[in-house]
Amino acid sequence: MSKLALVGGKPVTDNLLAGARLTTRSDLERQYLLEVLDSGTWDDWPGVESMAKKFENEWAAYNKSRFCALLTNGTHTLQVALETLDIGFGDEVIVPGLTWQATASAICDVNAVPVMVDVDPETLCIDTAKIEAAITPRTRAIIPVHLYHRMADLDRLIPLSRKYNLAIIEDCAHAHGSQWDAQNAGTFGDFGSFSFQRSKLITAGEGGALLMQDEENYWKVVSQRSCGREFRQGIKVHSGNYRITSFQAAVLRAQLQAHAVNAPIINQTGLALDAAIAEAPGVQPLRRNPHITRQCGYAFVFLYDRSAFDGIEGKLFRKALSAEVGYDFTTTYTPLSHSEVYSPHQKKRHHLNRSYLEAITPSRWNLPVADDLWQHRAVLAGWGIFACPPERASLLTEAIAKIHLNRNELLRMI
Ligand SMILES: Cc1ncc(COP(=O)(O)O)c(C=O)c1O
């Protein structure tokens, strides 16, 4: 009789998250939403007291940032940050090759060129050792992404940016409340860009925010989100409309209160899950830089070594693990060199000239580390897994050990 759940055996657990322990505040979401409705101030208009303004202040305070501006989403935040820095045609911006397409497409949307750098095989974030080779006289900025379950190496990024006079826009779409040396993600670079899209740790369905420490940059952002109007004398930047509604801010305020409670729990559970992986055969946790004092990841990720499983592909291992613990494991984004959702060269708007078109064609980039992670090595679970009580993390060790012991059952399926 089969032992593995994938082939009909009894799973290690049918619910890894039994006793889940993350807080939600739907009561407050409802309360704040009704406040907005009754107030009649449904938008986010400069100079008008609104729920959006309240959340901006609270998000700035939570992150200990001087300024915060809410915008429509975490793609527009990147685009507006780039335009605030006056980055455009003729410029290059360095990005990791493994990220959501928005990190790079925002660069194309300002007519600059995203230059892809491969990622660190043990953190999945941009490989800082490979950045210098990608810098040219046209390079203006780096957009490091604090991807999934780790932060990009800020201790190496900040000196590099100073050495070459490059701006840093931290893409924090996966890092709400993560900390490096007790300082919040998004406050190290010129800008910290956040998304509040449905899958994120804090969400209003859609939404985005920029953190920044420079006042002039703040007013440039405020001008750009409101059609290029001049709200501070002498500061206006031609733009469109990137305003959020106060209904979204109402939900975000309540979500932030829940997140403030959850953030240390997410960090603690992440450590427990890492420890459980370290105990299991044929897998390893991501390397955690000791400067990370709080990791509030968007996903939990660990690394799989198929040679320890007689060559069984990561895809089958992930299916077997999902079946053992009643929780879905998947892999990373497709690397941008061949992502199904990243094809800026196919858009007429980007056909500026032949050399630009060649420069933004994704297939020009070779990203072997990202490819290997995506295809073979990464095992990823959505951030809901951080609700797992730490004492249940050992079920993961048990499940992986069980798959390892009974790998013949999987080999027979191939
Ligand atoms: C790393 C990263 N950057 C940027 C974004 C863009 O955010 P939004 O969906 O709010 O536009 C996302 C969204 O998934 C993301 O994962």
- Over its C-alpha atoms, the chain yields an Rg (Å, rounded) of 22
- CATH number for the domain including 302? 3.90.1150.10
| Distance of alpha carbon 295 from alpha carbon 301, whole angstroms | 12
Return the best residue to mutate from 77, 143, 197 for the ligand 1 pocket (most ligand atoms within 8 A of CB).
197
Q: What pLDDT digit, counting tens, does each position of 285-326 carry?
A: 999 999 999 999 899 999 999 999 999 999 999 999 999 999
Q: What is the pLDDT of residue 45?
A: 87
- 233 in any annotated domain: yes
pLDDT bucket at 1, cuts 50 / 70 / 90:
low
List the residue whose alpha carbon is closest to atom 8 of ligand 1.
74
**How is residue 302 written in tokens?**
């660990």
Q: What angle do CA 243, 141, 189 make, to 5 degrees?
A: 65
Which residues are registered as beta bridge partners of 167?
141
* Cα–ligand 1 centroid distance for 410 (angstroms): 36
Considering the domain architecture, whether residues 70 and 145 belong to the same structural domain is answered as yes
- How many domains would you assign to the chain? 2
Q: How far is the CA of 44 from the centre of ligand 1 (A)?
A: 22
Q: Is the CB of 84 under 6 A from ligand 1?
A: no
Question: How would you label 305-325 residue by residue, b for 16+ Cβ within 10 Å and e otherwise?
Answer: eeeebeebebebbbbbbbbbb
Where a domain ends, among 222, 255, 288? 255
Q: What is the predicted pLDDT for the residue at 2? A: 73
The verdict on the CB of residue 170 being under 6 Å from ligand 1 is no
367 lies in some domain: no
State in Å, rounded, how far the first CA of the chain is from the last one: 18
Residue 348 forms part of a structural domain = no
User: Structure pTM?
Assistant: 0.98
Ligand 1 pocket, 79 CB below 6 A?
A: no
Token digits for 255? 């979500």
- Give 336-381 pLDDT, tens digit per residue: 999 999 999 999 999 999 999 999 999 999 999 999 999 999 999 9
Counting residues of the chain whose pLDDT is more than 70, the rounded percentage is: 100
- Compute the Cα dihedral for 58, 70, 153, 372 and give only its sign: positive
Domain termination residue (choose one: 196, 226, 255): 255
Catalytically active residues, by annotation: 200
Residues with Cβ < 8 Å from 53, sequence gap 6 or more?
Answer: 44
Tens of pLDDT, residues 234-293: 999 999 999 999 999 999 999 999 999 999 999 999 999 999 999 999 999 999 999 999
Number of H helices and number of E strands within the chain? 12, 13
* pLDDT (0 to 100) of residue 14: 93
Residue 47: the pLDDT is 84
For 162-172, what is each residue's pLDDT tens digit?
999 999 999 99
Mean pLDDT over 72-89 rounds to 98
Q: Among residues of the chain, what percentage have pLDDT more than 90?
A: 98
Alpha-helical segments (H) within 121-240: 154-163, 215-225
Q: Which domain holds residue 317?
A: 5-23+260-332+372-411
Q: Is 362 inside a domain boundary?
A: no
Q: Which of 18, 37, 21 lies closest to 29, judged by CA?
A: 37
DSSP 302-334: EEE-GGGGTT--HHHHHHHHHHHHTS--B--PP
Ligand 1 atom nearest 197 alpha carbon: 10
| pLDDT for 328 beyond 90 | yes
**Domain co-membership, 68 together with 37:** yes
Judgement on whether residues 58 and 14 belong to the same structural domain of the protein: no
Q: For residue 280, what is the DSSP state?
A: S
Are 31 and 18 part of one and the same domain? no
Assign 212 a pLDDT band (cuts: 50, 70, 90).
Answer: very high
Looking at every residue in the chain, the average pLDDT score rounds to: 97
What's the mean pLDDT in 51-58? 98
Atom of ligand 1 nearest to the CA of 200: 14
Q: Same domain for 86 and 163?
A: yes
pLDDT band at 414 (very low <50, low <70, confident <90, very high): confident
E-state strands within 158-267: 167-171, 179-180, 183-184, 191-195, 208-212
- What CATH number does residue 186 fall under? 3.40.640.10
Q: What's CA 190's distance to the chain center, in Å? A: 18
Report yes or no on 114 lying in a domain.
yes
| Confidence band for 44, pLDDT divided at 50, 70 and 90 | very high
Of 239, 255, 271, the last residue of a domain is 255
